[in-house]
């Protein structure tokens, strides 16, 4: 019972925003090509040339993602605008 109480009372860090990841992955039919939160976040920090899947993810974000999905993701991961 103490474990349950600790879980309920110990919510210091908000959960990562998942909607942007879901939007990107729903547009990719091949599940082996799906992004993780880390791989999606890394696109925004990448210095070298993007591969075709990363370009597709950015295009999908631009065309399909809601503004709130993007702002939540950017805010949570402190991505510079």
pLDDT digits (tens, 9 = 90+) for 20-72: 999 999 999 999 999 999 999 999 999 999 999 999 999 999 999 999 999 99
Residue spans of the domains in the chain: they are 16-77
Given this model, what pLDDT does residue 4 score?
A: 66
Residue 12 has pLDDT above 70, yes or no: no
Residue partners of 27: CB distance under 8 A and separation at least 6: 56, 60, 64
- Measured CA distances, 20 to 45, 58, 59, 62 (Å): 16, 11, 12, 11
Q: Are 53 and 43 in contact (CB under 8 A)?
A: no
């Amino acid at each position: 019972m103490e474990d349950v109480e600790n879980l309920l009372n110990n919510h210091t860090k908000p959960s990562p925003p998942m909607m942007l990841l879901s939007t990107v992955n729903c547009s990719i039919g091949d599940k082996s090509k799906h992004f993780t939160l880390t791989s999606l976040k890394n696109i925004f920090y990448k210095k070298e040339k993007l591969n075709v899947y990363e370009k597709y993810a950015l295009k999908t974000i631009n065309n399909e993602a809601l503004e709130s999905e993007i702002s939540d993701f950017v805010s949570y991961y402190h991505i510079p605008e």
